[in-house]
């Protein structure tokens, strides 16, 4: 009786939260039993096995039948919370402001700081690269697709940058004009299309010649051909688009596209 009174007025607490919880049996002092649960609840909240012993991976916080709705962490000045809205959507907030939204279909990328994404994961954000054109030539006086220079990209409503780049290593790459005769002007025209429609207008490479001279060839780095698609400045809607490079010959000029690739990525 005296021991019980001492424990009642002077409880012994070991605020660890990892103490072992025991069952009440005959002769157990009530305050001792209550204090072990007080210690468990005011210390670190840890998982336990069926014997009441603190162990790693001893159980779950909630179940699929009885889940928790919200979880709050941090301090009174900086609160980090997880909240489910009843429809399977989880909102992660810092100080009440949503930092990330997770839905059954994925993570809302609007909340991701783009500068934190490694460059090698840009392909997942919409960077697309075509196969090489090989040694392509054309004398067609209508616009025709350049072999392999086609990419499809799914965008999120931002402009798309298009660029022709070198397509193979250890070889020369270019776009150029090879004159067909001693006419005074030899010209090739290139353009980018989206869904088969012209979006860039004709980008010309023209060679002016003296009719008495021999036939030169005019070659330029493939990077001279680039374009930013803003849909005429009105804003490009989020969708999947197919881009191509086309070429057109003027005056039977041979248009050359030598081992290049088309790259497209959303800005």
Tens digit of each residue's pLDDT (9 = 90 or more) over 17-68: 677 777 766 666 677 777 777 777 777 778 888 788 888 877 788 888 888 8
Can you read off the two tokens belonging to residue 120?
């090698």
Can you say whether the dihedral through the CA atoms of 129, 133, 139, 145 is positive or negative? negative
Number of domains in the chain: 3
Q: Structural domain of residue 74, as residue ranges? A: 70-112
Torsion angle defined by CA atoms of residues 14, 16, 20 and 23, in that order, rounded to the nearest 10 degrees: 60
DSSP 8-state code for residue 238: S
131 lies in some domain: yes
64 lies in some domain: no
Cβ atoms within 10 Å of 242's Cβ, excluding its own: 14
12, pLDDT greater than 60: no
The verdict on 146 and 249 lying in the same domain is yes
pLDDT, tens digit (0-9, with 9 covering 90-100), for 150-199: 999 988 788 899 999 888 777 888 888 877 665 566 788 899 999 999 99
DSSP 8-state code for residue 114: G
Can you read off the two tokens belonging to residue 52?
């009441």
Separation between Cα atoms, residue 194 and residue 198, nearest integer Å: 7
pLDDT, tens digit (0-9, with 9 covering 90-100), for 129-140: 899 999 999 999
Query: At residue 57, what are phi and psi to the nearest 5 degrees?
Result: 55, 45
142 lies in some domain: yes
- Mind giving me the DSSP string for 166-186? E-STTS--EEEEE--SS-SEE
């Amino acid at each position: 009786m005296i021991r019980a009174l001492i424990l009642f007025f002077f409880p012994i607490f070991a605020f660890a939260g990892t103490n072992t919880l025991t069952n009440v049996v005959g002769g157990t002092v009530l305050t001792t039993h209550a204090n072990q649960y007080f210690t468990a609840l005011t210390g670190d909240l840890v998982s336990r096995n069926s014997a009441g012993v603190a162990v790693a991976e001893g159980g779950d916080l909630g179940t699929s039948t009885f889940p928790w709705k919200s979880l709050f962490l941090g301090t009174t000045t900086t609160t980090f919370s997880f909240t489910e809205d009843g429809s399977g959507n989880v909102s992660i907030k810092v100080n009440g402001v949503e930092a990330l939204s997770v839905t059954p279909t994925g993570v809302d990328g609007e909340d991701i700081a783009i500068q934190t994404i490694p460059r090698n994961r840009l392909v997942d954000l919409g960077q697309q690269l075509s196969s090489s054109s090989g040694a392509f030539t054309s004398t067609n006086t209508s616009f025709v697709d350049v072999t392999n220079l086609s990419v499809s990209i799914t965008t999120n409503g931002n402009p798309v940058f298009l660029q022709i780049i070198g397509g193979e290593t250890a070889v020369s790459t270019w776009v150029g004009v090879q004159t067909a005769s001693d006419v005074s002007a030899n010209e090739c025209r290139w353009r980018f299309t989206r869904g088969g429609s012209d979006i860039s207008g004709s980008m010309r490479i023209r060679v002016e010649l003296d009719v008495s001279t021999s036939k030169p060839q005019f070659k330029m780095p493939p990077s001279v051909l680039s374009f930013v698609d803003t849909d005429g400045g009105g804003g490009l809607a989020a969708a999947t688009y197919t881009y191509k490079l086309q070429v057109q010959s003027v005056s039977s000029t041979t248009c050359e596209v030598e081992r290049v690739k088309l790259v497209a990525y959303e800005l």
